[in-house]
Amino acid sequence: MTTSRQQKAKKELERRRAAVLQATRRAEAELDGLRLAERGQEFEEVAQTEQSSADLARLNEAERLELRRIEAALARIDEGRWGECAECGRAIEAKRLEALPWAIRCAGCAEAAESRTKAV
């Protein structure tokens, strides 16, 4: 993988990491606000607040997963392994890396892994 592609990917990953962290902080602040608002509410309002809290918790889990993927991709860039398929060792397609800079598999290996997951 060329150095300019790695630098571009690293900048994009760092930008995305900052955006995810900012969104996480906003979601946590909103969740804290919902918890404070629960005091003194009627039953229906409490149920709605609990649902919103659960939705935010799931959002945070998705953000944590994305952060782990981003951190792993940044580590692979630093180690010189970014863009190498973890399954077959071949280069991951440039278009795939542009779309998913944290990709760990080439398109063929990703399809095969998805097929195995669906079969289970």
pLDDT, tens digit, for every residue of 65-108?
888 899 999 999 999 999 999 999 999 999 999 999 999 999 99
Higher-confidence position of 115 and 38: 115
Q: How would residue 13 be classed by pLDDT, with cut points 50, 70 and 90?
A: very high
**In the chain, what are the domain boundaries?**
1-82, 85-120
Give the model's pLDDT for residue 119.
79
- Per the CB < 8 A criterion, the answer to whether 111 and 22 are in contact is no
Give the model's pLDDT for residue 28.
73
Give the model's pLDDT for residue 35.
63
- Per the CB < 8 A criterion, the answer to whether 105 and 87 are in contact is yes
Measured distance between the N- and C-terminal CA atoms of the chain, rounded to whole angstroms: 34
Buried b (16+ CB within 10 A) or exposed e, 6-18: beebbebbeebbe
- Residue 14: pLDDT above 70? yes
